[in-house]
Amino acid sequence: MPVLLDLRGAKSSDVEIGTSPISELQACLHSLAEPDHHLEYRSWLVKTDESLSPDLRHRLTRFAPLWARRRCRLLLPLSGPLDASVDTEIERIALLSERDFVEAAAYAIQGGDFDPRQAISQQGEFIAACEARSFSRGELAGLLMADPGEFRATLVRTLADCVEEFFAGEWERIHDRLRDEADQTRLRLRGLPLAELVSSVSPAAQPVQGGRAVRFDKLQNLTVSLHGNGVFLVPTIHGRPHLIIRGEAGFPVVVHYPVAWQSQPASIDEMQQRLTILSDPARLALCRHLVNEAITTSDLARRMNMTRPQVSRHLAKLRVAGVLTSEKSGRYVYHRVDVDKLMRIGVELLRAIVR
């Protein structure tokens, strides 16, 4: 179930690359609401959550359906240019027409596949559909329909309080990294055909249909046309490993992509290969020996009642899985399981699943 960007009628000049603090703030709010998706930021999440004032924490819990599952389009760049300040981007939310605001908020709150225009024309049905998903979604939907102006004012105030309480300092810390990523992406992609330009920001993307479209490996079945529309490529740090593609009518298309890892994240196929290797009973038994001490091939063969060639074949597989280290000392080569790499497989599996 891919996301397909239809490039017909679009050109490379339609693409803008830059930073968006409101997008990064939403990524922070998502990770605070869904910490199990972001294990690598656990210390930052715990520290930030503990620093929140009780009133702001209460409001973030109330508004969490806006960013917990489906990111709200309001908290992605609504218009250009990119690289605006967070205050400017919050002001754009405040100035958006009420209809556009309500439809964008309703689409995120409901969290399923539906026409957000129905939220205004069929308020009762919309609230009931949200209540069917969760109590918090139903409550938030009721607040939105009862008084959109107050809902927006409270949301804008909440975002401003987030900036004051934790995000201003975090944005100052990471802004240069994101700006450098955007600058490097511009230089790297200059002159590339549109399909290669768009797909190059993520290993989950590839040009298809002879360059007339880009396919993203996502758990969605969605086609977004770029014809007559701008495209924003926005890097994120706190959003990783998630790759977000949004293409609602009336707004620029946004590809919110994680900055490059030190190494590219493993694909689902690569993770399946690693797990298959590690699930073999003989290799699991070898790992039990190798996790505690460095051992030679001959010693492993004696302990496991195997031949040396058998042990060597299993060790080669563990090396392919990326969990084995081997070091020569004198005449002997000693093997050991790299515990840190073994533990990271769980995190990499999560990244591959939620990307």
Cα 320 from Cα 103, distance rounded (Å): 49
What are 159-179's pLDDT values in tens digits?
Answer: 999 999 999 999 999 999 999
CATH code reported for the domain at 268-354: 1.10.10.10
Q: What angle do CA 161, 163, 166 make, to 5 degrees?
A: 100
Domain limits, the chain: 3-258, 268-354
Q: What is the DSSP string of 253-319?
A: EEEEEEPPPSSPPPPHHHHHHHHHHHH-HHHHHHHHHHTTS-EEHHHHHHHHT--HHHHHHHHHHHH
Cα 37 from Cα 58, distance rounded (Å): 21
Cα 308 from Cα 287, distance rounded (Å): 16
Nearest to 20 by CA among 355, 261, 254, 262: 254
Residue 215 pLDDT exceeds 80: yes
Residue 151 pLDDT exceeds 60: yes
What are 217-271's pLDDT values in tens digits?
Answer: 876 778 888 888 889 999 999 988 788 998 888 899 999 999 864 445 566 777 7
Cα 244 from Cα 75, distance rounded (Å): 12
Q: Decide: 175 and 168 in contact? Cβ < 8 Å.
A: no
Cα 341 from Cα 322, distance rounded (Å): 7
Cα 167 from Cα 21, distance rounded (Å): 9
What integer best gives the mean pLDDT of the chain? 88
Tokens matching residue 113: 């596949």
